[in-house]
Amino acid sequence: MSPNREQEAALIDAIRDAARTEILPRFRNLDADAIDSKASADDLVTVADRRSEVLISAAAKKILPHAEVIGEEAVAETPALLDRIAAAETAVIIDPIDGTWNYAKGLSTFGVLLAVTSGGETVFGVLYDPVNDDWILTRRGGGTWFCTANGTERQLRIDGPREATDFGGFGAPAMLPKHMQERAQLDLLRQGRVLDLRCACHTYRMMCFGVGDFSFDPKLMPWDHAAGALAVEEAGGVVRLLGGRSYAPTIHKGYMLSARDAETMDRMQAELAWMCDGA
């Protein structure tokens, strides 16, 4: 089930409220004991992540009372929650602060991601920038829109012509297994300009704004990709797993590719195909 417009607005209000009360007051104002690490030393979580997830999750349960609510930090505590996305008629997937490393280090490249799935397929997504208080909103079959706090909405399309000499994109080869990193780095750099924003929210936003030709992400967690993948597709782009499989938030292993068009997708699939054997 897709949320109606009133429910969409309420979800966005919940995100903005969490940003105002929990995220922004702590930005560049975190005590050392407010930052912890999870799977690795640079996989950070802060008190702002946890508190904003609690707020957004509670609001989502009121707005969509029959939905499963799956937050990144809740899954860190109870990994089995991840399996509920596939079984749920409706699920709300939340990344309370995407780009936590940036946030904890005082960089403003962080955001909030929220997706609603129906039968394991994303039907609605929000990619929110707390610093600028604007967001990208996407609906399955309804396009991708850039929205501001003053009510302005602009539909985004990324499938137009582009200068061949300005080819480039986004990639995170450092997140691959170590034996794959050097070759991946060289293969990506051979394409042109490649940036790693350490933030899926802003990577997907940049793709939707038409800034990048491709993005590559070796980490396939649903809170990172469910909203952004739909946003790129509804803006006219192409999203696949490396190897050609269609993406769904129920898939948690593999490498993610997004591209501005089918030609670019084919080019990047061919360039990085060796990873399917090297993983």
200-208 vs 222-234: helix axis angle to the nearest 10? 0
Structure tokens at 201: 């929210």
Tokens of 173: 């080869």
Residue 112 neighbours by CB under 8 Å, 6+ apart: 15, 18, 19, 23, 52, 56, 94, 95, 96, 97, 98, 126, 128, 130, 201
97 marked among binding-site residues: yes
Residues of 203-216 as b/e, b for ≥16 C-beta within 10 angstroms? bbbbbbebbbbbbb
Helical pair 178-189 and 262-272, crossing angle rounded to 10 deg: 140
Residue with tokens 């979580």: 45
| Neighbouring C-alpha atoms within 13 Å toward the C-beta of 209 | 13
Report the distance separating Cα 223 and Cα 94, nearest Å: 6
Return left, alpha or beta for 72; rule: phi > 0 is left, psi -120 to 50 is alpha, else beta: alpha
Strand ranges (E), 99-232: 111-118, 121-129, 134-139, 143-148, 153-155, 168-171, 193-195, 214-217
Count of CB atoms situated within 10 Å of the CB of 1: 14
Tell me: is residue 251 an annotated ligand-binding position.
no
Q: Give the chain's count of helices (H) and strands (E).
A: 10, 14
Asked if residue 224 belongs to a known ligand binding site, the reply is: yes
The annotated binding site for Mg(2+) is made up of 72, 95, 97-98, 224
The annotated binding site is made up of 72, 95, 97-98, 224
